[in-house]
């Protein structure tokens, strides 16, 4: 890899078993495919998929996703984690067919390390997230026992409130515990997540940056937003060899949405 590693974050595609099917007025497959094609034009070193990849967790929906990646970038490393809409068994099984697929682990990316977490809470009533004790123990192990590299952590649920009441009711329920843990390690540089269906950034009390990403499907309007981009999008993450990074969101023009905010 070059001195700068480029990852593309793609999230919340909510794909269905039928490519032509609509989801509350949206066309999940059409918008996902448009996002993927534009993302691949950026010539990334890897894809980072942060959950809710299939709306109902159907194997066929993951099959469409895997086929699209294989057609466009079969040898491109693909890093994935589940969201509250995903079926982990189906997701894991289908991604095994990709030659360069890795999920729910720590991965070395040159000078950097990527840690993928599962924030899905099986007992959730409304899609809220939670990092179990084993997940937190595993995270601490990765941060403590491996040599300290600049670290990017990815999960599905947002660990801090984004200022939209109904969205924040389904955030990571132990987000304070998560943030307190990562703040003990100066080599943690940033956290990325999906779930909120819009671009967002904030930081923990000691300056670790937190980034939300637009969905490839429907968008949610941020609180008090005067102007809001309803187009699907993706996030670019340049991870530099010296431990610095740069990130930006790009949008894709495709089939316009006919319905706005909806539950996840």
| Chain-centre distance for alpha carbon 165 | 21
DSSP string, 49-101: EES--BSS--HHHHHHHHHHHHHHHTTS-EEEE--TT--HHHHHHHHTTSTTE
Q: Give the single-character DSSP code of 4.
A: E
Give the mean model confidence (pLDDT) for residues 147-159.
Answer: 96
| Chain-centre distance for alpha carbon 85 | 13
Average pLDDT of the chain is: 92
Looking at residue 127, what is its pLDDT? 94
Q: What is the pLDDT of residues 121-135, one digit of tens each?
A: 988 889 999 999 999
Domain boundaries, the chain: 4-251
Quickly count: other Cβ atoms within 10 Å of residue 72's Cβ: 15
Question: Is the per-residue pLDDT at 186 higher than 80?
Answer: yes
Question: Is the per-residue pLDDT at 258 higher than 50?
Answer: no
Report domain 4-251's class.
alpha beta
51: left (phi over 0), alpha (psi -120 to 50) or beta: left
Question: Is the per-residue pLDDT at 2 higher than 90?
Answer: no
Looking at residue 259, what is its pLDDT? 43
């Amino acid at each position: 890899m070059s001195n700068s590693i480029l990852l593309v974050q793609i999230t919340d595609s909510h794909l269905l078993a039928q490519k032509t099917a609509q989801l509350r007025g949206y066309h999940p497959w059409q918008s996902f495919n448009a996002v993927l094609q534009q993302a691949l034009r950026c010539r990334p070193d890897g894809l980072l998929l942060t959950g809710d990849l299939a709306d109902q967790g159907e194997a066929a929906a993951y099959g469409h996703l895997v086929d699209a990646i294989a057609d466009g970038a079969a040898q491109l490393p693909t890093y994935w984690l589940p969201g509250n809409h995903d079926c982990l068994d189906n997701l894991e099984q289908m991604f095994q067919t990709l030659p360069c697929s890795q999920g729910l682990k720590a991965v070395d990316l040159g000078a950097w390390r990527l840690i993928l977490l599962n924030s899905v809470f099986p007992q959730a009533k409304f899609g809220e997230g939670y990092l179990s004790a084993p997940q937190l123990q595993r995270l601490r192990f990765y941060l403590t026992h491996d040599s300290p590299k600049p670290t990017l952590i990815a999960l599905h649920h947002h660990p801090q409130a984004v200022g939209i009441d109904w969205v924040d009711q389904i955030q990571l329920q132990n987000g304070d515990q998560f943030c307190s843990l990562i703040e003990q390690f100066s080599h943690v540089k940033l956290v990325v997540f999906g779930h909120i269906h819009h671009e967002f950034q904030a930081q923990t009390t000691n300056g670790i940056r937190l980034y939300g990403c637009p969905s490839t499907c429907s968008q949610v309007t941020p609180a008090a937003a005067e102007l809001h981009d309803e187009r699907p999008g993706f996030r670019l993450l340049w991870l530099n060899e010296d431990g610095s990074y740069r990130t930006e969101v790009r949008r894709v023009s495709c089939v316009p949405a006919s319905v706005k905010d909806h539950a996840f």
